[in-house]
């Protein structure tokens, strides 16, 4: 009976998150063919590079303590971790602001990506709201407010797409043109319409502003119920308790943050290598490939990952065996993802060309090569969170470093030595099959050993 209740609750929470995520992804997926006809591969390339910078900074913005919010039994401890996160974030963003004010021009010359220099000042703002969004997401999941998390995803994505559409139309002066919006949309899907190329200030700006606004709106969705339901906990916050929680969970900044930084340095290394070995357009094709593949899969993958983390942490705190939860989660993910990835392997290039436009066929070819890696990552990555739950971040750090070397090394070999990105993707996917198979059995072994040690100490 207990197992049935656990499964029922797990499934219900996953379904709640998936519903919101599905609604959130319908609009961007439906409008992707429009966006690829409004923005050029070069503009998507500059946007991809901007996102890689922000994502890297988000890893260290709150000291990685946001992941610890789910772990304590008592809310009075969790609220102090949340307060600690915002204290660290405030200091971090203040330093970022000073750096960009003083060294903005130097950084722009150093990055040297066309169209990006005039938007670098927005990075501290994006980081603040991006980190705040992550912090509140963990708080919401701790309290099983998965409906609130779903709503935040919908609002975030809708806001981003709205800004991208408005910016894309403004790029072509549609709002002041005589022909009107309807005629314009008809024209961009006609054979006579050429695919956009090159970089414009408003094109890159619309994509970057949409990224920032999405985090801002998502944070607001979390903020109002938080103030309404949890402000009673504010009285529990003190510097003393924040320091205590910081010490208890010090592996997060000491190990997890270093782990996260190296992960994101790997991502920056990948985008930089593609940019160096090829150009902004190729980076745009790569960015679109990842965007299209991960958009529908994130509906399922992120939902399972968030619910798995909350449920496994709860079961571990209550000294329950969650190995069946690990196995069932991976099994479900493999079955759900199989038909999606099979379609990409069989029909990737013509599918991308038909939906996104002739120029984007290359992205479909990339998708075919990346599918084996992303399929196993989709199925197995969520359960690797057991390392955080079991306080074994050090072991996972080593495994993750091997993972990063595989990814960056494959791209370097393909891009620099073979001068062919698809060769790098082929090498990458081949090795990743072995890596994720090992990682899955490692997660099971780690959990068994921890449970055995706990039971023997009783």
pLDDT at 297 > cutoff 70 = no
pLDDT band at 54 (very low <50, low <70, confident <90, very high): very high
Give the best-scoring range by mean pLDDT among 70-79, 300-309, 314-323: 70-79
More confident residue, 14 or 393: 393
Inter-CA distances, 40 with 204, 288, 455, Å: 9, 11, 58
Nearest alpha carbon to residue 398 among 446, 433, 449, 430: 446
Short-list 324, 370, 282, 363, CA closest to 48? 282
The torsion angle over the Cα atoms of residues 97, 219, 25 and 175, rounded to 10 degrees, is -70
Query: In whole angstroms, what is the distance from residue 356 CA to residue 359 CA?
Result: 8
- Find the radius of gyration of the CA atoms of the chain: 22
Per residue in 336-347, pLDDT (tens digit) is 889 988 998 999
Look at residue 12 in the predicted model and tell me its pLDDT: 64
Question: What's 254's DSSP letter?
Answer: I
Query: Each residue of 59-116: pLDDT tens digit?
Result: 899 989 998 998 888 899 999 999 999 999 999 999 999 998 888 888 888 777 778 8
Residues 147-176 have a mean pLDDT of 87
Record the tokens describing residue 300, joined without a space. 């399922």
Ranges of H-type helices in 112-238? 123-142, 146-171, 180-188, 201-230
Helix locations, 257-322, DSSP H:
257-277, 280-317
Show the tokens assigned to 73: 């039994």
Q: Tokens for 34? A: 């429009």
- Contacts of residue 249, defined as CB under 8 A and 6 or more positions apart, other chains included, come to 65, 68, 71, 81
Instruction: Report DSSP state, residue 195.
Output: P
Q: Per-residue confidence at 267, pLDDT binned at 50, 70, 90?
A: confident
Residue 144's pLDDT is 82
Q: Confirm if 198 and 42 have CB atoms less than 8 A apart.
A: yes
pLDDT tens for each residue of 357-384: 788 888 889 989 988 888 898 899 888 8
Q: Are 13 and 144 in contact (CB under 8 A)?
A: yes
pTM of the model: 0.70
Angle of helix 2-38 relative to helix 146-171, nearest 10 degrees, comes to 10
The DSSP-derived string for 15-83 is HHHHHHHHHHHHHHHHHHHHHHHHS-HHHHHHHHHHHHHHHHHHHHHTTTGGGGGGS-SSHHHHHHHHH
Per-residue pLDDT tens for 185-242? 778 777 666 677 788 889 999 999 999 999 999 999 999 889 999 989 999 999 999 9
Residue 236 CA to residue 71 CA, distance in Å, equals: 17
pLDDT of residue 237: 92
Domain count, the chain: 1
Nearest to 43 by CA among 325, 279, 314: 279
Residue 208 CA to chain centroid, in angstroms? 16
Over 50: is that where the pLDDT of 294 sits?
yes
Mean pLDDT computed over 134-139: 93
Domain that holds residue 300: 2-457
Confirm if 49 and 113 have CB atoms less than 8 A apart: yes
- Under the banding of pLDDT at 50, 70 and 90, the label for residue 4 is very low
| Torsion region of 114: left, alpha or beta (phi above 0 gives left; psi -120 to 50 gives alpha) | beta
């Amino acid at each position: 009976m207990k197992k049935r209740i656990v499964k029922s609750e797990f499934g219900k929470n996953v379904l709640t998150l998936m519903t919101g995520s599905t609604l959130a992804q319908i609009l961007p997926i439906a409008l992707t063919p429009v966006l690829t006809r409004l923005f050029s591969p070069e503009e998507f390339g500059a946007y991809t590079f901007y996102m890689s910078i922000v994502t890297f900074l988000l890893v260290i913005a709150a000291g990685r303590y946001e992941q610890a919010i789910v772990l304590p039994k008592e809310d009075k401890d969790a609220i102090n971790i949340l307060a600690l996160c915002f204290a660290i974030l405030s200091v971090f963003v203040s330093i970022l602001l000073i750096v960009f004010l003083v060294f903005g021009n130097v950084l722009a010359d150093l990055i040297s990506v066309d169209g990006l220099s005039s938007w670098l000042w927005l990075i501290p703002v994006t980081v603040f709201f991006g980190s705040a969004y992550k912090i509140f997401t963990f708080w919401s999941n701790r309290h099983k407010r998965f409906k609130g998390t779903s709503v935040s995803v919908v609002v975030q994505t809708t806001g981003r797409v709205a800004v991208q559409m408005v910016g894309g139309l403004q790029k072509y002066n549609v709002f002041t043109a005589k022909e009107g919006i309807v005629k314009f949309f008809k024209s961009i899907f006609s054979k006579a319409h050429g695919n956009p190329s090159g970089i414009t200030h408003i094109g890159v700006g619309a994509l970057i502003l949409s990224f920032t606004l999405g985090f801002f709106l998502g944070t607001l969705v979390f903020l109002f119920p938080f103030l309404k339901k949890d402000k009673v906990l504010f009285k529990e916050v003190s510097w003393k308790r924040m320091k205590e929680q910081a010490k208890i969970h010090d592996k997060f900044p000491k190990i997890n943050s270093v782990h996260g930084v190296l992960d994101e340095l790997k991502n920056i290394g990948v985008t930089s290598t593609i940019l160096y070995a090829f150009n902004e357009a190729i980076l745009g094709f790569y960015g679109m490939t990842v965007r299209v593949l991960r958009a529908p899969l994130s509906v399922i993958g992120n939902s399972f990952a968030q619910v798995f983390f909350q449920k496994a942490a709860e079961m571990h705190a209550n000294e329950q065996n969650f190995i069946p939860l690990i196995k069932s989660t991976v099994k479900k993910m493999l079955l759900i993802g199989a038909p999606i990835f099979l379609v990409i392997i069989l029909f990737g290039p013509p599918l991308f060309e038909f939906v996104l436009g002739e120029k984007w066929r290359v992205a479909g070819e990339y998708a075919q090569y990346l599918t084996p890696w992303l399929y196993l990552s989709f199925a197995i990555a969520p359960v690797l969170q057991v390392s955080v739950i079991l306080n074994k971040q050090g072991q996972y750090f080593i495994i993750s470093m091997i993972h990063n070397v595989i990814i960056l090394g494959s791209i370097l070999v393909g891009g620099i030595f073979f001068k062919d990105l698809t060769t790098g993707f082929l090498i990458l996917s081949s090795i990743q099959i072995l890596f994720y198979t090992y990682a899955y059995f490692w997660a099971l072994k780690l959990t068994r050993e921890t449970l055995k040690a706990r039971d023997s100490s009783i």
